[in-house]
């Protein structure tokens, strides 16, 4: 099953929006998921939809606070796929949209849009965006 997630604006992925509850996200995404604790000190489990390549993160009130898209997922902005693609292509696309990129040791962030791009080999010419974390906040 393929589900396409469109970045429509900060905190808005179309199907998933800021302020959604865990139950609402589970109904929206359907299918099979596994709960797991991302780190030892996680207070709330993460929902992993491995078929979709999506991890859903929640706060202590079980409100969606973020979504991680793995490289086989379908996260798009307009007609550009943002994950599983060449990192340089994605960087050029984001800059063409007027976004400022902040680089770190594991990739880069687009602070204005709440995006964190995980590119472990970003110093390589053929680096691929392995994952994108999208921060969601209540509107």
* pTM, 2 dp: 0.94
pLDDT of residue 139: 46
Whole-angstrom distance, CA of residue 37 vs CA of residue 32? 17
Whose CA is closest to 5, among 112, 62, 60, 81?
81
Whose CA is closest to 18, among 9, 26, 27, 6?
9
pLDDT of residue 1: 59
In the chain, which stretches have pLDDT less than 70? Answer: 1, 138-139
Find the distance separating the first CA and the last CA of the chain, reported in whole Å. 30
């Amino acid at each position: 099953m393929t589900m396409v997630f469109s970045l429509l604006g900060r905190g808005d992925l179309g199907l998933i929006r800021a302020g959604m509850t865990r139950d609402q996200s589970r109904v929206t995404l359907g299918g099979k998921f596994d709960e797991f604790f991302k780190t030892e000190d996680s207070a709330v489990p993460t929902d992993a939809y491995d078929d979709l390549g999506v991890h859903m993160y929640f706060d202590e009130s079980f409100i969606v606070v973020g979504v991680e898209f793995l490289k086989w997922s379908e996260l798009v902005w307009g007609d550009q796929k943002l994950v599983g693609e060449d990192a340089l292509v994605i960087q050029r696309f984001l800059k063409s949209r007027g976004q400022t990129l902040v680089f770190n040791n594991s990739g880069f962030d687009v602070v204005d849009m709440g995006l964190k791009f995980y590119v472990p080999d970003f110093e390589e010419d053929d680096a691929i965006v392995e994952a994108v974390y999208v921060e969601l906040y209540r509107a």
